Structure 1
């Protein structure tokens, strides 16, 4: 485990393995860099950097109330400190929102491409948006994080996987629930509150990086319309659907996910419009 000191003195943990084109892995809410453990298989050809975002994993600290902006600044600072060039950013869920901020800012020049895993441009629906969660669902999550975080975290750990959960996936889901529940509820509540305020639509048109949009066909969070919106909003994007996955294709179909990442990194080239690949 390595540590980067952010501009405000916070210590941000990350793993840095392998050599070659950098692959920067950014996890979802309540997770940590260890949720990309299956992507260690990429280290034979790539430099794989998995970050514990502020308030998560080994980057937790007393009294933290992180915001999406802080998390993005941390990642941008880490990319600069490591001298990354031509990197591929992989953002899963919350990590995708962080990645969009990084790519749309000055640090975007350090990245050659992006992979977005099962995320929407705006989490909470409103008058002009219906590709996220209902206001009632967003409020229910806010209340659950505040009032009964352990139950919320355990249930969320199960819900990220395609249902029903059986066989080897049961062990994986129980591990995810355990790891989610280890978090500090106030830190997670702060990140969630910040994420609910985000509207990445304003960022997407500023991102010229070739983008691979990964969606799980059995995601309980976002449907195919979410991926279609991103493909239309991003200048150079294509969609890959994983037919046996929910919200976490990198965990549920890791061999296929890793091959898709290899192919994407090898073929990085802007393409006009979006194409759909069904897997």
Structure 2
């Protein structure tokens, strides 16, 4: 993997392969760039940039900040600038989607032409006026589990991202995911989780003008179709696609369909851009 040093001295690992339209892959909590190995075939048509977010995989904070959402978004924005990306498509899965929204709403957003959001909500923690995330009790239970027995929490979470019960053809992959989750530093993950739970992206979404594809798992135990519908309504240029046989990780569970869906989305972006240029 290649390494990029951020403005605060953190070392961010990433994979950069293929040529064409850049596709920036941002993983979920406790995952890493390897969770997008199923998208490696896309390097035949795209430039694939898969990042280990701060505090995950081979990325290390060094003397920099602990891994909060805003700092992670700054890392991605800085890397996009260093790579001089233009017309990129951002793909954010779960935590990665929240990070992507921050990037798109900032100055680095001009480097992106579109976005793919994978099974995420605008706000993780529910309250009296919001019920498209997780209950306060569930959020607190996760925080306690991370603190008291991180390994058990991580092993269970790795299984839970798949449609339940885990299909036999996904058993090996689910076991791998669990072991990868458990390799993380408990303190770093707890800090990231606390930062994620504090996020409320609702006011930010209507500022994001990028065409967006909302991918949601039909068997996700975290977020349902109503969550995807909210994002379609909240984002100015969004549509949704449902992966019937997936849980929280459609790109892992149905990689060929996911890749074909992303290619179709990219083709639509290119066609729309060509139409705008011909009419200008």
2:143 corresponds in structure 1 to 142
Q: CA RMSD in A?
A: 1.3
Secondary structure of the residue aligned to 1:57 is: coil
Label 1:107 to 1:62 Cα distance change in 2 as closer, same or farther (>3 A): closer
Shift of 1:62: 6.2
1:252 corresponds in structure 2 to 253
Q: Which moved more, 1:165-174 or 1:187-196?
A: 165-174
Contact (CA 8 Å) 2:32, 2:53: kept in 1 or not? Answer: yes
Contact (CA 8 Å) 1:210, 1:269: kept in 2 or not? Answer: no
Contact (CA 8 Å) 2:36, 2:251: kept in 1 or not? Answer: yes
Secondary structure of the residue aligned to 1:235 is: coil
Q: Distance in 1 between matches of 2:172 and 2:184?
A: 20
1:168-201 deviation line (CA, Å, top 9, x unaligned): 2000000000000000000000000000100011
Structure 1, unaligned runs of 5 or more: 272-279
Query: TM-score, normalised on structure 2?
Result: 0.95
Q: Distance in 1 between matches of 2:61 and 2:87?
A: 31
Q: Distance in 2 between matches of 1:17 and 1:202?
A: 35
1:104 corresponds in structure 2 to 105
Q: Distance in 1 between matches of 2:42 and 2:205?
A: 28
Contact (CA 8 Å) 2:13, 2:51: kept in 1 or not? Answer: yes
The answer on 1:129 being equivalent to 2:130 is: yes
The answer on 1:12 being equivalent to 2:12 is: yes
1:267 corresponds in structure 2 to 268
Q: Distance in 2 between matches of 1:62 and 1:185?
A: 16
1:24-51 deviation line (CA, Å, top 9, x unaligned): 0000000001000010010000000000
Q: Distance in 2 between matches of 1:108 and 1:41?
A: 26
Equivalences, count: 271
Label 1:62 to 1:153 Cα distance change in 2 as closer, same or farther (>3 A): farther
Q: Which moved more, 1:188-197 or 1:60-69?
A: 60-69
Shift of 1:66: 1.2
Shift of 1:61: 4.5
Q: Distance in 1 between matches of 2:131 and 2:269?
A: 31
After TM superposition, the runs of 4+ consecutive aligned structure 1 residues lying more than 4 A away are: 61-64
Q: Distance in 2 between matches of 1:97 and 1:25?
A: 13
1:94 corresponds in structure 2 to 95
Map 1:52-63 to 2 at 5 A. Answer: 52-61=52-61
Q: Distance in 1 between matches of 2:32 and 2:68?
A: 16
1:250-276 deviation line (CA, Å, top 9, x unaligned): 0000000000000101111799xxxxx
Structure 2, unaligned runs of 5 or more: 273-280
1:210 corresponds in structure 2 to 211
Contact (CA 8 Å) 2:147, 2:190: kept in 1 or not? Answer: yes
